Amino acid sequence: MRASRLSRLSAESADLAEKLILAAGNLTALAGQIGVSHPTARKRVDGLIAELTALQEHDKAEADRTLKDVEQGRLRPEEAARLIGEMNGSL
């Protein structure tokens, strides 16, 4: 089973994501919690977003390859559905 995107974040990004969620998305509260200025907190959140976006893009490319394998008869549709579901954190 493949790990979800959130669990594949770097340790630093996962920690920041947790703190951001617990701060209810409030960057001022996050900045105070992690001891940095608001602009620095924004920059770190932007880095988190970039990392998560890269993981999504990677998973989309992998899903596209999986679907191509189904089209070419190298993979059963049920197996492809399972693999893509795992990529998206379901199943």
Instruction: Give the pLDDT score at 44.
Output: 98
Mean pLDDT of 72-80: 94
Instruction: Label residue 84 by pLDDT band (50, 70, 90).
Output: confident
Q: What is the pTM of this model?
A: 0.81
Structure tokens at 61: 């490319």
Nearest to 84 by CA among 48, 51, 56: 56
pLDDT tens digits for range 16-61: 999 999 999 999 999 999 999 999 999 999 999 999 999 999 999 9
> How far, in Å, CA of 3 to CA of 26, rounded?
28
Instruction: Label residue 91 by pLDDT band (50, 70, 90).
Output: very low
